[in-house]
Structure 1
């Protein structure tokens, strides 16, 4: 019996056991489950909105022609590679830092309340009202008056730091993409005599003008997620992406601007999203720090470096695949672009649960509630596994019948059907 107990005990300590710990409660509507869903559902809708808009872009461009579809596919691969390298580490650590700092604010407020009650208990306040005292200090808090709140806006040093870093990175990305557009496309396999070169360069150059807005909007989404507010980013993203779809149709089909119109529509929508988020954020957070010393650049760079290495490794695979597809010709690249956008749209659904887990874990660690840390990790991983299996079933069933929404070219459609099993089977692992 002791041997059997020892065996089960050792299994319980293995990493794989996280998928089975409390598995019966995976859909339980308890406090933890509700916290996860309240963050994850709006976050998932926010993350899904942009890929869905990109899918509509792809469908619109696909009906212009396979050359344009392939050209935009290469350009988006280059833009996403550069964007994710510059922004993903920043967004991830911003969410954690904001959640940690925000969770500590109530502690400071409670200390003031405690000191105020202590002053009343000892009759010190009545002495002051009668003019018999000049004020007493209890635990560092003045009894002279209740702590006055000068502003309802929070002071979060990490928010100011992230906004400064995001602005600088956005400008650098715009300049680098404009200057190196031709060499990057050449590296991706778009040679000088390729019919894809001109539309690809046009799209990449114009879309790069929206890089500052993209990076700032993602940073602000990371800040809101740290506050466990995923509804504000959802509102802003839906408004921006709706504008993108409307402008896409107007510029591509009404004004006949082709891929140029698609790029301009995307840039306008990104600045609209950034404006909405900035307007909302400035009402909650004081983004102007008291001094330069209040910014926490060192903390961001130290934590972001390891995440940067991880992101480069992940995105390099996608960029390499796009490069190989482009070298096989515009038919292969067009099919790859459709498959990639479908994969991204479905894969990002799991990120909503990841965001919920990240925000809750950061707060739990700051409060030293390690029981909640363990429970949150198990519940989020179990939900992601269920979601991945569900996506596998849906994509394998639906995609063979919906491919014509993206293109009418029979050769492209044939290659898309080849890619469908890979899109579907990778969902559980990705989730």
Structure 2
């Protein structure tokens, strides 16, 4: 069966559009709100001193790595819950979500203890110097107590997305960010607790946000008669389903690390040029990541809608809405690409006063802009296959893509622009081939709810 890509002019197409954007817009706003926790902490801690801010940055790398690897708690839960929603089994859907919450608690406890106990070695492994390391260790030991609520927030958000609700996570994310700022100001400056106060404020806000989201799931469980007790077979099933999604995420992060490493190889004998390349790369990657939120919002809608339509046994409907989401992925990629290209001469001034970095940034951003339509298709199809529960294929596809991309980017690094061409054409292009090949087949169209 061919995989159609193109606009639909029918009423069914317009209905798909309304459903896609009903889910995607709140998801985008929630995705933008999530990084603001660390941004607010950075803005407040930055006024304590440079070493404090550097310490926060080191601790943030450790925390973001741990939590980022557990994004499967949201993605996998969305897919499994949505399937049961499509099969008209709300009780089973919420019970599946509760299993995800218990899995989040188990992982959170297992990860928190070593992060607290070995905070200093973890900080040292990142390469922090003495003064910076002290501040990083202080922050990490306290902030690690927020890992469990962060994982609960991921799992509960996945449950609500599976229930076709992306607005509740948005409201909670906004309120949590406001509370985080208030608590940070109060504890850091009002009570003069310094960087420790910033960590305490964030942890308190995270626990309250997790409590709010879990409370919504608990009310749904009671309303539909789903048990809140831990179900070991269900938790084990959720854990097994998570493994391929973890592999997928690891391959993506490895590709980003390889890209940054390739940038460091550009001018090993010239520190000035290397600093310029790394600075421009960091700015470009920051902007690329922000634009990815737009595309990832459609992917989140794809997870929820695909799971639901497959759970309902509607293969034709799944094909139709997938084609529509891919179309919108292309449109979003073209729009973001045009915006990035038109703004490329001016964006550098926001981030740096160095003219060399600004000049280098323009061609890099133009390359990134050209790759945005491909990113749009890749993000959407990734979401579709996650929603279909096709994690094993995504894991193997990620491994193949990484093996293809790594030697290319490490051998071809004469300039930062060439590295970004390799990233946009080879890495994203390989992902496009892997995902479109799967989407054109029928292997992922597994109908009905899991037994």
TM-score (norm 2): 0.68
Q: Deviations over 1:273-309 (max 9, x none)?
A: 1111122222211486387668513422332111111
Decide whether aligned partners of structure 1 residues 202 and 402 sit closer, same or farther in structure 2, where only a CA change above 3 A counts: farther
SS at match of 2:221: coil
Aligned to 1:149: none
Aligned to 1:95: 78
Cα deviation for residue 81 of structure 1 reads: 1.3
Aligned to 2:158: 222
Aligned to 1:133: none
Task: Measure the CA separation in 2 of the matches of 1:410 and 1:351.
Answer: 31
Q: Check whether the contact 1:70–1:334 (CA below 8 A) recurs between aligned residues.
A: no
Decide whether aligned partners of structure 1 residues 347 and 258 sit closer, same or farther in structure 2, where only a CA change above 3 A counts: farther
Decide whether aligned partners of structure 1 residues 395 and 268 sit closer, same or farther in structure 2, where only a CA change above 3 A counts: farther
Q: How many residues align?
A: 362
Give 1:83's match in structure 2, choosing from 61, 67, 74.
Answer: 67
Decide whether aligned partners of structure 1 residues 274 and 187 sit closer, same or farther in structure 2, where only a CA change above 3 A counts: same
Aligned to 2:201: 265
Q: Check whether the contact 1:178–1:205 (CA below 8 A) recurs between aligned residues.
A: yes
TM-score (norm 1): 0.71
For the pair shown, which has the larger CA radius of gyration, 1 or 2? 1
Q: Does structure 1 residue 176 correspond to structure 2 residue 121?
A: no
Task: Measure the CA separation in 1 of the matches of 2:135 and 2:339.
Answer: 34
Cα deviation for residue 350 of structure 1 reads: 2.1
Higher RCO structure (Cα 8 Å, ≥6 apart): 1
Q: Check whether the contact 2:30–2:170 (CA below 8 A) recurs between aligned residues.
A: yes
- What 5-or-longer segments of structure 2 have no aligned partner? 265-270, 377-451
Decide whether aligned partners of structure 1 residues 67 and 29 sit closer, same or farther in structure 2, where only a CA change above 3 A counts: farther
Q: Check whether the contact 2:94–2:226 (CA below 8 A) recurs between aligned residues.
A: no
Task: Measure the CA separation in 1 of the matches of 2:193 and 2:288.
Answer: 28
Task: Measure the CA separation in 2 of the matches of 1:47 and 1:68.
Answer: 27
Cα deviation for residue 156 of structure 1 reads: 3.0
Aligned to 1:36: 20
**Which sits farther off after the overlay, 284-293 or 173-182?**
284-293
SS at match of 2:313: coil
In terms of fraction of residues, the more helix-rich structure is 2
Give 1:74's match in structure 2, choosing from 42, 51, 58.
Answer: 58
Decide whether aligned partners of structure 1 residues 155 and 81 sit closer, same or farther in structure 2, where only a CA change above 3 A counts: closer
Aligned to 1:188: 126
C-alpha root-mean-square deviation of aligned residues, in Å? 3.8
Q: Does structure 1 residue 104 correspond to structure 2 residue 97?
A: no
Q: Check whether the contact 2:81–2:162 (CA below 8 A) recurs between aligned residues.
A: yes
- What 5-or-longer segments of structure 1 have no aligned partner? 1-11, 109-152
Cα deviation for residue 419 of structure 1 reads: 5.7
Q: Does structure 1 residue 161 correspond to structure 2 residue 99?
A: yes
Aligned to 1:50: 34
Aligned to 2:304: 359
Decide whether aligned partners of structure 1 residues 250 and 338 sit closer, same or farther in structure 2, where only a CA change above 3 A counts: farther
